[in-house]
Chains A and B, each alone.
Chain A
Amino acid sequence: NAGVTQTPKFQVLKTGQSMTLQCAQDMNHNSMYWYRQDPGMGLRLIYYSASEGTTDKGEVPNGYNVSRLNKREFSLRLESAAPSQTSVYFCASTRGTGTGRRGYTFGSGTRLTVV
């Protein structure tokens, strides 16, 4: 089915380990986003890419890096994981270069635990 695919769905890391969360969309969308969801905090934007070749920081970028590999793929990297990065991570995309009138399409999330 068309949409946003995130891998992996679950991951446990030890403090200090690194990993990359993958996100791919097959809707030919221009903009892609990474959010984290924590209890009582809603969704907070980590990084986004308004178009291929551009990336910008969101509200909570510290400890993360991103790569817009091509129009389809937008990865999130944790270089040295910390327990504070335990969260559920969502990738989203939209056709335009901003919010647009369509809103975002979300992936099903990656549940990350750092011990």
Chain B
Amino acid sequence: AQSVTQPDIHITVSEGASLELRCNYSYGATPYLFWYVQSPGQGLQLLLKYFSGDTLVQGIKGFEAEFKRSQSSFNLRKPSVHWSDAAEYFCAVGDSGNTPLVFGKGTRLSVIA
């Protein structure tokens, strides 16, 4: 069965610093990978996705993620964090079939001045 691990429950970074959120997945075939962001009291918004091709994918709000098959990882990065990036981030894995998305438990990002 598919599974997703987000090792970091909570991360605090300073505004302007770089950010990397970790995501590891378990899946036999080529996965479809997603990052979602959830602002407080809101629903989930898709940041970016990977299903094939270039392993470095660009998303909205200046985020990018890199798919590394050898490490079963799909880490999310941003070069310079803004206070408005404070939110909860979820990694999810799916496939080309009918299996629903499986989500990680999330990483809460706090941004300090």
Contacts and interface: CB of A to CB of B under 8 A. Distances in A.
A and B held together in a complex: yes
Interface residues of A, number: 27
Contacts of B51: 101
Contact of B104 (A42, A97, A100, A103): A42
A97 B36 CA distance: 20
Given A98-B95, A99-B96, A103-B34, A108 B42 contact: yes
A64 to B, nearest CB: 15
* Residue among B9, B43, B46, B102 with max Cβ neighbours from chain A (10 Å): B43
B7 interface: no
Interface in A37-87: 40-45, 48, 50, 58
B78 to A, nearest CB: 19
B39 to A, nearest CB: 11
Contacts of A41: 105
Contacts of B36: 103, 106
Given A48-B100, A99-B94, A99-B100, A42 B44 contact: no
Given A106-B43, A109-B43, A98 B94 contact: yes
Nearest to A45: B100
B96 A40 contact: no
23 contacts: A35-B103, A42-B6, A42-B90, A45-B100, A45-B101, A45-B102, A98-B94, A98-B96, A99-B32, A99-B95, A99-B96, A99-B101, A101-B51, A103-B34, A103-B46, A103-B92, A103-B101, A104-B101, A105-B46, A106-B43, A106-B44, A108-B42, A109-B43
Interface of A: 4, 33, 35, 40-45, 48, 50, 58, 90, 92, 97-109
